[in-house]
Structure formats: structure tokens, C-alpha cells
Amino acid sequence: MSFEKVCLENKNLKVTFLDYGARIYEIFVKDVDGVSENVLLSLDEDFIKQDTAQFGASVGRVAGRLSRLDYDFATLEDNTDHGINMHSGYDGWWNKTWAYEKGNNWIEFSLKDIYSGYKGQLDAKIRYELEDDKLIMTNFAKTDTDTFYNPTNHSYFNLSGDIKEKIDGHELQILADKFVETDKLNIPTGELKDVEGTPFDFNEPTLIKNSLEKLPNGIDNCLVINESIDNYTPTLILRDPNSRRTLSITTDRKAFVIFSTTGFNADFTLNDGKKMSSQLGIAIEPQELPDAPNHEGFGNIVLKSGTESVHKTIYEFGIY
């Protein structure tokens, strides 16, 4: 499987993408001293075709775990050996080559999705635009058959630049009042728990290592955005005290899945030869609640035939 690399650039940001998985591959952002460095974990090119951790990839039709395999809309692959479908299986979006068109400040990827065990054809488009210090991601989808639909982007961030440091020294703020309780296989139990008094309370800027001290297995959890927050207010802010870089995310999605990469040690390399290791990056996945079809009150992720879904997420970078 081959892939093509394309680039968008303005005076503030340089972003490279891959057609394989419609991936955000690199984001170059200036630090407080004006030095531009990559703030993503970017697989070295020899390893991209072997990626099963979705580095920077678009994930769909459904992101995360589904705890059953058989539905009216789909018969899904068990790609976990536990009767669970994860990130729509091996034939999900992340493992497909997308067509694309490119303009001066935008690129749009498209895929006719007939894969992953879902019925019918879903026409997916993902448009990325650069606007000043913002990367704007808009997901479009239409289907000819009712289907589940809950996509995300699976980028791993490290604002130190070129992964000079681990992310436990970053500060994280998320305007979320609930988190999704999960079992030992990280499947939702159906309960939404208050974050107050738990290591998942990031309503104030919190040093990530302070939460990790209470979570020996790390963070791999869904935090539900406070419903009172409008779609124009950043609901997640990540800061690096050394580079002084910030990432603010505004989204119309209902939740963020956060993965601290704790325990993620692997032989592949990233960012010109750095070996993957625990807490090297933080995955931030805007989406609806995971495993929603199997839990009352988790919301409806059915996309009806003949209707169009549009979701927007804005990644804004800065200095503080």
C-alpha cells in the first residue's frame, strides 16, 4: 500500500496530511521563542503501513469500542479477541486510501465507504482548512442505508515540539462534568459518573502527572462535555509550560476520549527515530459517547438514509 503526502501552510502553521487514512501527519507550530516544531506523534514512514494505533488517522464509521458485533445495520469484525469491535475493525477508515482535492488553504478527502461490515454505502468527506492559527476539520457524511456513524480523528499530541519531553508535564483542562465508567475491558458499563473528586476532573488546568499518580494504568477514558457549553467555546485546552504552546479545541461533538499512552511501549519509531514509549503523547478524540447503541441515555448515533451529517472541530494553537 502506497501513500501520498500533501501540505498546507500559512505564516502560523504548517500541516502535512496523508491520503492513507486521511491522516493529519504533522503539525508544525512555533514556540515562545519562535521555533517551529512538530507537535504530533508522527510515525516514521517505514512503519505507517503497519500502524494499528491510528496515529493521526480518521476513524470511522464508528470510533472506539462496540460491545456487540451483530446489529440491524451491521455484522462487525471481532478485532480484539473479546467479542468487541474496535475502531471499526481492520477495514475501517484508518486503513483505507482516500481520494483528495487541494486548494490554497484547504484539502478535502473523500471515501465511498462500503467496508467494515456496515450495510450500504456511506459517502464520507473530511475537509481541513488553515485559518490563521487554526486547523478546522469538518466531517460530512451521507448514506443510502440507515447506519451507525460516530467518527473521530485519532491524533496524538505533544506540545513540547519534536517530542523532546513526555506529556505528563503538560497541563490539561476539559470542561466536562461526567466521565464514562468502564469495565476491565474498557467497555462502558452504562453509567455516567461525576468527575468531581476523581482523577478525571480537569475543569481547572491540571498537571497530567498529578492525575496519572492516581491512575496507574493511565487515562483511556471518555469525558462528557458539559451540556451548558456552546459550540463556540473551547472545551479542551492543553498547555506545555516549557515551550509555552497551547492547543484549544472547540467542537460540536459531545465528548472527548483521552488516551495518555501510559504503558504504550513499542518497537516502532516516530519523529525521526524516537522509540514509542509510555506517555510520549496524548490522544484526543472528539466524538459522541462510545458504545452508544448498547446503552440507554448515551445518545443516538444512527445516521438516517438520505440525510447529511456535518460535524466541525477547530484546533487552535497559540502561546501563553
Q: pLDDT tens, 183-225?
A: 999 999 999 999 999 999 999 999 999 999 999 999 999 999 9
CA distance 48 to 57: 11
CA distance 184 to 104: 47
Mean pLDDT value of segment 12-20: 98
Q: pLDDT tens, 121-149?
A: 999 999 999 999 999 999 999 999 999 99
Average pLDDT, the chain: 97
Q: What letter would DSSP give residue 246?
A: E
Residue 2: the pLDDT is 81
Q: Whose CA is closest to 235, among 258, 219, 251?
A: 251
For cell 516549557, what's the residue?
242
